[in-house]
Chain A
Amino acid sequence: MEKCDVLIIGAGPGGLAAAVGAKNAGADRVVILERDTSAGGILNQCVHDGFGIIRYNEQLTGPEYAVRAVREARAAGAEILCGHQVIRINDDRLVTAVSRDGLKTFSAGAVVLATGCRERTRGMISIPGSRPAGVFTAGVVQNFVNVRNIMPGRRVVILGSGDIGMIMARRLTLEGAEVRAVIEVLPEPAGLSRNVSQCLYEYDIPLFCSHTVSKIIGKKHLRAVEISELDDKMKPVRGTEQTIECDALILSVGLIPENEVAETAGVRLDQRSNGAVTDECLQTSVPGIFSCGNSRRVMDLADFVSQQGELAGRNAAAYLTGAEMAAWDESRGTSMAKGYPVPGTVTCTLCPNGCQVKWTEEGYEGNRCPRGEKFAEEERTSPKRIVTSTVRLSGGRLLPVRTDRAVPKESVRDVVRSLRDLKIEAPVKCGQELYRFRDGAGDILTVTAVADVSGPACAQI
């Protein structure tokens, strides 16, 4: 049996920040157990940008954010054990994990659950019709497309306008698929306004709100979906059916806090959300066990998860010494603008406020700070985007990459296309320059790796 002060389950943004929080608050031995082969959690498959605007005041991609979070946890002195799946926690905070080295039991002074969330599935929402190949959840597709170099299909329909769904709509479009429709049961898009404008509008992807997939068609393989309009009781309206031919249906229909491990410890869960119930200091119903991030309540941004994780780690350390714990400010983590962008406005993406800035004869309005005006001015006159994508490493694995700065919006597709034929040899370091070229305006652009890859065909943070 191994002893540690604070044991953290999960090395995503919440767990990594919890380690920093615990170490900074004086905990001696802090261990993170991660079931995957590398740390970073789902960030590793989120190759798009939009991370870090709060925590680092920068536009980072998911893998870059992960690299920083891992470095910070290591620098603080936490141990990260990958390939360790926790199978149970007992009454005395004895935590048992399975790994290639065998069954290990840790005796922890305090535990932080940072186990993230899982996706709602087709089975849970009971879409009528057949059960063919070609139906996936968005996160699974994101993993296949961005990490494993596997394309789910070429003609895609997405059910659900959650953020992952919209981000995958753009990603698949850039990789050459035709996204034929995004279907949303609510009257408004479910995800962030910035994603509606940047992922759907900019790529002319049709969005059908107050609609659902009423039938899945195709015996062995998906052939089409039938969509229907919904009435105000969310029931399909007869006579509104349309058939859309497609070979992949991607579901982005919600996230559920993942709490299997918490359940083994007897942690009380919210019956509706499945999130761990905590007090304002993030302590669960079991003393000494804390919960943070998406396993507590699904959050919009990784930045919020990190902030909350750090506090959970700090409070876990305080639990050990009897020091005073601090409360989480529940108003944080819910401020992002969602739904349809206001027509005629620009959604500022520089901070989570997502101000809807409008240009009038008198100037700009709707922005809460001067940066919003500058942003809107650029959006109006020469909109630019950071390009994020992947390149193929020799051996077939993918390396996430980004441009060093924003490029004119209209050249995004060209940049992604030019990366398709690029072949890179591992090892690669995060931040390493891979490729330089001149964009449409004649400016030199640099494409850099956003993850460390240690050896050939072995993507690792």
Chain B
Amino acid sequence: MDGVIQQSDILIIGAGGVGCAVARELSRYRLSVTVLEKECDVASGASGRNSAVVHAGFNNKPGSLMAKLCMEGNRGFEKACRELGVPFRNTGKVLVAFDEEDIEILKGIIDQGRQNGCEDLRLIGAEELERLVPGVGGIGGMYSPHTSIFDPFAYCVALAENAAVNGVRFRFSSEVSAINRTAEGFIVRTADGSEFRCRILINCAGLFSDRIAEMAGVSGYHLYPCRGEYFILDKVADRLLGMPVYPAPKTGAGGLGVHLTPTMHGNIIIGPSAEYIDERDDYSTTAEVMDDLLAEAAQLMPSLERRYVIGNYAGIRAKQAPPGEGGYRDYVIREEETCPGLIDLIGIESPGLTASIPIAGMVRDIVGGIMPLKEKDDFIATREMPVRFSELSEAEQKQLIAGDPEYGEIICRCQKVTKREIRSAIENPLGARSISAIKYRAWATTGRCNGGYCLTRIVDMLVNEYGMKPEEITFRGRGSEMFSGEVK
């Protein structure tokens, strides 16, 4: 793609949840839109490395953009998930109090929630706590009925696919290396030597948004990477945990405290820690933090056992608040006065995914102030949810196999993913072709055997049915080649 020059009205940098939501929102209008993403797929940063919770809006400072956008996001989230075919479940959530001091903190949160428009929070006693989340320790807590869980990968994929169906072009493995302002807009160069011209540049680069702003000539932003480590437990949520359980927050913390969250797939995740780090791409987990996580999780729920652990991961928060300050600073979402045509989104940390659609609405309004927006007549608002064989009834399963025998070949035995579902993931409309792209679409390799059974079979398909050489198969794009080549 060296030297390719592409012209579009709008260029979005970053295909995380926010970039994808902005792309999808703008695809309603008669605009040409291109998204550049440095990684090989959507949701490769914080959007794919979090607690997968739709927040209710009580955590954020009244009057802040964070609070306002989170509230709006929460109200519209279920509808968006329905439209886009994204797994979503309204579970509610509890915050656990371990002492009287915690109860006072929770009263403050209820008050804060009310100011934000989150009306139905209430204190609960030990008995109700036990009824809502059996086995959780604590003297009482707070119940939030509007907190939900969802699948953040599926969400970003769905937004991006829907945007693509409506004409947005996605360019992966395209890291921006230079931005020049011209009379007409911007010229953006990527590391592979391609050139993209646009009128409006939207910076949704997450953890790297300060650097993108700097490249465009806007200095003054600085993001501090703050890592959160997680454990993934086996599918014990159905048995043990019906809704997210958080501790009552501690003042000044840069996160929400180590919590337990059931996932849409039936796992439980434990985390995250909060630790400021030096490197923005150091997703390592550490022995010390892992020990702490288990200890804190055991405080919330003594019956959790070490043997349920099947994996770990880490995410990195894009914090504007430096280590000494702690807590949160509000989102920055604006067209830069000193750089007209550049729309910066800075410090979109949690609850960024919950707020992503209202954020996209805000960006659309800013774009509308720069150029006239005309709605398309043929905008397709919905996307069908991909088939999940394992979740269907026997009659539906029979019907699927009768129509396509590949639904009768189970490739991932832990999650019961069929060959046909793997094929759909390989042939995804965004053209992302990596093991992780297949993993997060079909959910293969995510079970307790970590791909011990299905990885060989997926690789077999890629080699024998899609003509890839073993050394061309990557885990997450260039540099993460899975194999060194053939044996002989």
Contacts and interface: CB of A to CB of B under 8 A. Distances in A.
B281 interface: yes
B481 A133 contact: yes
A221 B481 contact: yes
Interface in B248-287: 281-287
A215 to B, nearest CB: 8
B451 A140 contact: yes
Interface string B425-465: 00000000000000000000000111111011001100100
B456 A144 contact: yes
B484 A103 contact: no
A405 interface: no
Nearest to B281: A219
A122 B231 CA distance: 12
Nearest to B313: A131
B369 interface: no
B484 A152 contact: yes
B381 interface: no
Q: Give chain A's interface secondary structure class.
A: mixed
Contacts of B287: 128, 214, 236
A98 B401 contact: yes
Given A143-B456, A247-B484, A420-B488, A133 B312 contact: no
Interface residues of B, number: 56
Nearest to A214: B287
A129 B285 contact: yes
Nearest to B288: A128
A123 interface: yes
A221 B479 contact: yes
Chain A contact patch, size range: 35 or more
Given A121-B310, A121-B450, A152-B483, A102 B413 contact: no
Given A83-B409, A150-B470, A133 B488 contact: no
Interface in B324-361: none
B103 to A, nearest CB: 35
Contacts of A103: 394, 397-398, 401
A144 B405 contact: no
Interface string B57-78: 0000000000000000000000
Q: Which of A35, A103, A137: most chain B CB closer than 10 A? A: A103
A64 B281 CA distance: 48
Contact of B410 (A98, A119, A128, A216): A98
B310 A128 contact: no
B474 interface: yes
Interface in A92-145: 96, 98-103, 118-119, 121-124, 126, 128-134, 137, 139-140, 143-145
Given A102-B408, A119-B452, A153 B484 contact: yes
A148 to B, nearest CB: 6
Q: Which of A220, A236, A391: most chain B CB closer than 10 A? A: A220
Interface in A25-58: 35
Contacts of A133: 474-476, 480-482
Given A99-B409, A149-B486, A150-B486, 5 more contacts: A101-B405, A103-B397, A121-B450, A140-B456, A392-B488
18 contacts: A100-B408, A118-B453, A121-B311, A124-B309, A126-B231, A128-B290, A131-B283, A131-B313, A133-B476, A133-B480, A150-B483, A154-B484, A214-B287, A216-B284, A220-B478, A220-B480, A236-B287, A260-B413
